[in-house]
Chain A
Amino acid sequence: MLARSTPTTIAARVRGLSDRAIAWLFITPTIALLLAINIFPLIWAVYLSFTNFRANRPNAEVVGVGLRNYQRVLNDPDIWIAMQTTAHFVFWTILFQTVIGFALAYLIDRKFRGHAFWTTVILIPMMLSPAVVGNFWRFLYQPQIGLFNYIVSFFSGIPPSSFEMLGSVTLAPWAIIVVDTWMWTPYVMLICLAGLRSIPDYIYEAAEVDRASAWRQFWSITVPMALPFIMLAVLFRGIENFKMFDMVMLLTGGGPGSTTEVASITLKREAFESWLTGRSSAFAIILFVAVFGLANIYVKALNKVKQR
């Protein structure tokens, strides 16, 4: 109690800046930078979303158009298709990454010999640049010369040039899901591993005394105890994959047609190719509100699970 109350009284007596001044001095630069480079642009985007401004015509007269941009975005079937495509990617990548990531974490937690080394090896893909990796996977996916088609045909007997991962309407989305899963499964694995390591041994020992089967232990102890961690991994991957841009840009550029056009790609096309600045700003705000809202609802659910 005494120790807790001392610092303020001491700080009041010592020479130099007051604690309050130091707190502000330390925090203000960060807040100022975020205001300048995050919040100010965000507010500007909100303002632009109510205008007909086009960034490639800086001298044209800017007219307020009220909610028309929002109305147009929400009524644009292409944008809804992009949102569906995004949801499709988020769903499948999270499903694969969670299942494989958790399975790997569970196996690594058996602490076989050399597990630390192999864990490090598995982590490498997530440390790389999605754009550079996406570009190189484009090479691996080439139907005539690529390694991916060669390996698939080696095991399945399907001729390698008969399927084109990036050029086919049905396969292109899966081509991206494969790369995203390859790259980010280690991330989910790492968080799941933290979850598994946080389960105290004595719970398993008690279950062992009660003669609970391994299967029963897995479903009644391991999964529920690791669930908050799994949910955290899903949250982080969900937010990231909702914003997915670089990998898609370099693998397919949104094609063929618009089968892999996720929200970020549509946004880039509207903002930097069609130069519909006002309209794309409205779309950006809608996206932000959607992610922010979903993340908040999800965090509430996560906290409920944690409290159980």
Chain B
Amino acid sequence: MSSVNTTAHSVVEPTPTVKRIAGVIVILYALVTMIPLAWIFLTSIKSPPDSISYPPKIVFTPTLEGYCNLFTTRTRQTPDYIQSLPPATGTCDEITRSRNMVIAGPSNYWPRFGNSLIIAFGSTFLAVSLGTLAAYGFSRFRVPLADDLLFFILSTRMMPPIAVAIPIYLMYRQFGLSDTALGMILLYTAVNVSLAVWLLKGFIDEIPREYEEAAMIDGYTRLHAFWKVVLPQATTGIAATAIFCLIFAWNEYAFAVLLTSGSAQTAPPFIPTIIGEGGQDWPAVAAGTTIFLVPILVFTIILRKQLLRGITFGAVRK
């Protein structure tokens, strides 16, 4: 079999024409699929009038107004009052004044973005830590009812978030966890740990048991062997799992909108609420969206090879 597979030019190698046609169709699809994202970025560097002009403007003078509006709150003032102010101190100040407004203070964007960071990283750390331990437990020991437990862990993901949100909402209100970062971290950890256990069990299953056995013959305890031998071997799997947990916690909306309202609110429920004068301030929304998407774009590029394992719960081994 291997001799067949390793032939340089197998019989089924597509012809150059087939390859070229396939390439053209896929590239066209990729370009069309990127239009909405390109549009988000373009809108973020438009002025509000340019963003809503018709026909949609492809050529325009870029401005940082959207980003300034995203980061600040502004109040309208009379031109006389603005004249009386000392000279503008920066680009944002200048842009704001040219619209007959002055900056009143910072907006909530960075605090919400910060909440997203704290909650996403906190829950990822916990989910991956707990998941690694449990995955090792399921992988190496004969746990009673292991298959049932694993299925139970998986089935917790079938519940619509809104359905568990009702009792969680009541429970959190009781324990003072509503609208706290801790509450959200625990919640996202619980949601992510099922993914983490399933993914990591697949990775740990592939590390030969002989490595630990050898270490234990050398006098290591089981815990010591786990720490010194298994963990370093599982690093790639742990990293891939972490990125998946991170993406989920970063993007989650349903729990966030129901269980947080103020101090612990994350960015996904916040961004749609950015309002300018007379409706949604699209350049500011686009700026907020662009900044929010950047970490995920970076992750996608770093992680593309491990993606498959993650999205299929490790059900596809390849």
Binding site for B on A (CB under 8 A): 3, 6-7, 10-11, 14-17, 19-20, 22-27, 29-31, 33-34, 36-42, 44-45, 48, 55, 104, 107-108, 110-116, 118-133, 135-137, 139-140, 144-147, 150-151, 160, 182, 187, 190-191, 193-195, 197-198, 200-202, 204-205, 208-209, 229, 232, 236, 239, 242-243, 245-246, 249-250, 263-264, 267-268, 271-272, 277, 280-281, 284-285, 287-288, 291-292, 295
Contact = CB atoms under 8 A, between A and B. Distances in A.
Nearest to A185: B33
A126 B269 CA distance: 19
B293 A132 contact: yes
B194 A34 contact: yes
Contact of A33 (B26, B30, B130, B171): B130
Given A6-B213, A129-B252, A295-B158, 11 more contacts: A3-B213, A7-B213, A27-B134, A112-B23, A113-B23, A122-B29, A123-B307, A128-B296, A131-B257, A263-B160, A268-B162
B222 A129 contact: no
Contact of B18 (A110, A113, A116): A110
A291 B219 contact: no
Nearest to B286: A136
Which 3 pairs show the lowest CB-CB distances between chains A and B? Answer: A16-B221, A284-B163, A112-B23
A37 B51 CA distance: 44
A233 to B, nearest CB: 8
A142 B153 CA distance: 42
A190 B222 contact: no
28 contacts: A14-B219, A15-B221, A16-B224, A26-B136, A31-B134, A33-B190, A34-B194, A48-B166, A55-B170, A110-B14, A112-B26, A113-B19, A113-B23, A114-B23, A120-B300, A124-B297, A125-B36, A133-B36, A145-B51, A147-B36, A194-B316, A208-B11, A245-B162, A264-B160, A271-B166, A284-B163, A284-B166, A287-B163
Given A27-B143, A41-B168, A132-B292, A111 B272 contact: no
Interface string B174-196: 00000000000011011001100
Nearest to A8: B142
Contact of A190 (B43, B137, B160, B311): B311
B247 A112 contact: no
Interface string B145-177: 000010011011111111111111111000000
A238 to B, nearest CB: 11
Q: Is the interface of B mostly helix, strand, loop or mixed?
A: helix
Contacts of A36: 190
A206 to B, nearest CB: 9
Contacts of B61: none
Contacts of B307: 123, 190
B19 A55 contact: no
B271 A135 contact: yes
B22 to A, nearest CB: 4
Given A37-B190, A191-B311, A132 B23 contact: no
B134 A30 contact: yes
Contacts of B10: 201, 205
Nearest to A43: B167
B30 to A, nearest CB: 5
Nearest to A278: B166
A123 B251 CA distance: 16
A273 to B, nearest CB: 11
B4 interface: yes
Contacts of B153: 30, 34
Interface string B207-241: 00110110011011111100000000000000000
Contacts of B282: 139
A209 to B, nearest CB: 8
A146 B282 CA distance: 11
A130 B11 CA distance: 43
Nearest to A108: B26
